[in-house]
Chains A and B, each alone.
Chain A
Amino acid sequence: MNSDLPSLVAENVTLTLDTIQILDDVSLSMKPGRLVAVIGPNGAGKSSLLSILSGLWTADTGRVLLNNREVGNYPPAERARYCAVMRQDNTRPAGMTVLEAVELGRFAREAEGEASDLAWAILEQMGLADLAARDCTRLSGGEWQRVAFARTVAQVSSADGAGVLLLDEPVSSLDPSHQHELLGEARRLARAGHAVLAILHDLNLTAHYADEVALLSAGRVHACGPAAEMMRPEILSEIYGCQVTEVCEGGQRALVSFPPGKR
């Protein structure tokens, strides 16, 4: 197994949709063992970047390399074996159980019905086993988000090497405890050798779980680097256009935001 794998690298990517510049000269690199967080204001181009990284869209200029090969050159099934994506899409399959939905993560790897044991193991590990027989349309928003994450994990679980995980706001519907649980699992996957990217909005979760942070603003990478250097109040205040302050309490640090012009 190549120790550089898995990797996903975007080089000078630009994207224009209907004369609106969505991404402007974006470069980003994901390495095995690292959790990269992409943060930035609404409309900064985060989800578009994810669509390009995943090979779903093609950049106008620049290129994206998945395991050193242009992502657009992979047949869909082969690409799916190396790169799993969890989108914000809230589309629930009717008449399908949670276990069956997680088994779908193995679409590119095994025939139908051959992945039940793996899917079950992942559900158990994530504390979702009790929901296994539940119809997907009868889950709450947060439960469905956890199931979608379980499916994404199922997709990259493999004996023959680690993969790339792209997570678009994976904790947006979760309560605080499950936010920590899911991002903790994402970080554990990174430590196990996967390359993980998550689009996040919560500054404290980002500061706590990300190894590296890319700050995206108006389609450009404003700054990119280790989380400790990026998650500074002055930088965050600038890109979000509101006051972000750091508060310390009993040795714990937290980032707090205020409306513009107020303290």
Chain B
Amino acid sequence: MNPAREDEARRRGRRQRRLCLLAILFPVVLALASAFGAVPIGPAELWQLFSGAGDTSDVVRAVFWDIRLPRVLFAALVGASMALAGAGVQGLFRNPLADPALIGVSAGAALGAVTFFYFGWQNALGGWLLPVAAFTGGWLAVIVLGLFNVGFASGGTAKLILAGVALNAMMGSVLGFFLFSASDDALRSMTFWTLGSCASAQWSQVLVLLVFLAVGIFLLWPNARPLDALQLGQDQAAHLGVSVLRVRLEVIVAAALLVGAATAFAGTIGFIGLVAPHLARLLLGGLHRAVLPGALFIGGMLLVLADLGARTLAAPAELAVGILTAAIGAPFFLWLLRRPSSWSA
């Protein structure tokens, strides 16, 4: 066998193994994270809780099932959603700096949430008004982008990126006005919301996030191969048989659903959507059949770990998780950029 083909086969094997490793690591990190917190839960207790065997105290059981586990799953789902959306959008724009925020959904969601706080609305709809307001804001932003039709149907991705930048600036200015003229109480709520948090996690939210993640996967997975082809340029992809417009619409809708839902519940959590897909590519190479699931696992784990830090580092106080994702993530990312890629080396 030609050594180059052996190399290629080795590389494919390595990709499979690393992806499997991530898939195994993911539940392990989740289990570990649910063991730590104000009430520590040992491995034996953890096992008893899951298997239903033995007798754990009611306090431990309540802490685990009602607070700890939903929160860990919440963080995992939010992180996974942001990362998956980021992987799709980066592939679509063929731009490593692309971020789901680029299509305006994060800023739109922030605007929705800030409007909610500004007018001092009560969190009606059984506590669901805030996420609904944020989600609606996010989607309105994407629809506005679509209405302008800049770069959606025609034109290069550069136009779409620039349109996103303009939209973000526009919403930033409205956001700024609200922040400027808000009452002190509202300002505090707004600021905390924009720092992001997993503290409000509930099982119902976990369920909603799970549904959105499933829809996102459903939309993105069939586009893995078309996204690979798009890396050759939009025109060349069209010549290879890719329906470029359809891929674009599906990826943007998927990203808007994923980021919209995640942001609605957790606030704006930056960085994960940008970094997790990069880490996935460094570990797994550029094919989206590997990058999409890789980013999903990595993003989930990153936010679970960041949230673990948020609730334990300054216990009994809570740090905003957004502070930690950037504080830990950014230096780690810089360090990774310094190293030669473990994939292409």
List the interface of chain A (C-beta within 8 A of B).
51, 54, 56, 75-81, 83-85, 87, 89, 91, 93-97, 99-101, 104-105, 107-108, 111-112, 120, 124, 129-135, 137-138, 155
Contact = CB atoms under 8 A, between A and B. Distances in A.
B235 A76 contact: no
B241 A129 contact: no
17 contacts: A76-B242, A76-B244, A87-B235, A89-B233, A91-B231, A91-B232, A91-B233, A91-B236, A93-B232, A94-B281, A95-B281, A95-B287, A104-B240, A107-B226, A108-B241, A111-B225, A133-B7
What are the nearest 6 A-B pairs in CB distance? A95-B286, A80-B241, A108-B241, A93-B231, A133-B7, A91-B233
B146 interface: no
B66 interface: no
B225 A107 contact: yes
Given A95-B344, A130-B4, A133-B5, 8 more contacts: A85-B236, A91-B231, A93-B231, A96-B231, A96-B287, A97-B285, A129-B2, A133-B7
Contacts of B343: 95
A119 to B, nearest CB: 10
A84 B238 CA distance: 10
B287 A107 contact: no
B250 interface: no
Contacts of A91: 94, 231-233, 236
Contacts of A76: 238, 241-244
A128 to B, nearest CB: 9
Nearest to A166: B239
Nearest to B291: A95
Most buried by B among A51, A76, A138: A76
A108 B238 CA distance: 10
Contacts of A99: 5, 8
A129 B240 contact: no
A104 B286 CA distance: 13
Contact of B238 (A56, A78, A94): A56
B94 A138 contact: no
Interface in B201-232: 224-226, 228-229, 231-232
A30 to B, nearest CB: 16
Residue in A91, A95, A108 whose Cβ sees the most chain B Cβ within 10 Å? A95
Nearest to B288: A112
A79 B241 contact: yes
B236 A132 contact: no
Interface in B272-287: 281, 285-287
B235 A101 contact: no
Nearest to B11: A133
B231 A80 contact: no
B289 interface: yes
B98 to A, nearest CB: 13
Given A94-B231, A137-B344, A112 B238 contact: no
Contacts of A85: 236, 239
Interface in B105-133: none
B231 A87 contact: no
Contacts of B226: 107
Given A56-B238, A129-B2, A135-B344, A87 B233 contact: yes
B150 to A, nearest CB: 18
Contacts of B236: 85, 87, 89, 91
A49 B105 CA distance: 39
Nearest to B96: A94
Contact of B286 (A56, A93, A105): A93
A262 to B, nearest CB: 39
Contact of A129 (B5, B225, B242): B5
Nearest to A57: B235
A107 B287 CA distance: 13
B239 A80 contact: yes
Contacts of B11: 97, 133
Contacts of B229: 104, 107
Nearest to B245: A76
Given A56-B238, A91-B231, A132 B2 contact: yes
Contacts of A100: 228, 287
In the complex, which of the residues B5, B226, B281, B341 has the most CB atoms of chain A within 10 Å of its own CB atom?
B5
A209 to B, nearest CB: 23
A39 B238 CA distance: 25
A104 B239 CA distance: 11
A54 B236 CA distance: 11
Given A93-B286, A95-B287, A56 B240 contact: no
Interface in B1-47: 2, 4-5, 7-8, 11
B241 A130 contact: no
A134 B8 CA distance: 8
B239 A54 contact: yes
A91 B229 CA distance: 11
A152 B282 CA distance: 28
A77 B226 CA distance: 11
Contacts of A133: 4-5, 7-8, 11
Interface string B261-301: 00000000000000000000100011101000000000000
Contacts of B225: 107, 111-112
A51 B235 CA distance: 9
Contacts of B281: 94-95
A77 B318 CA distance: 53
Nearest to A96: B286
A95 B153 CA distance: 28
B241 A77 contact: yes
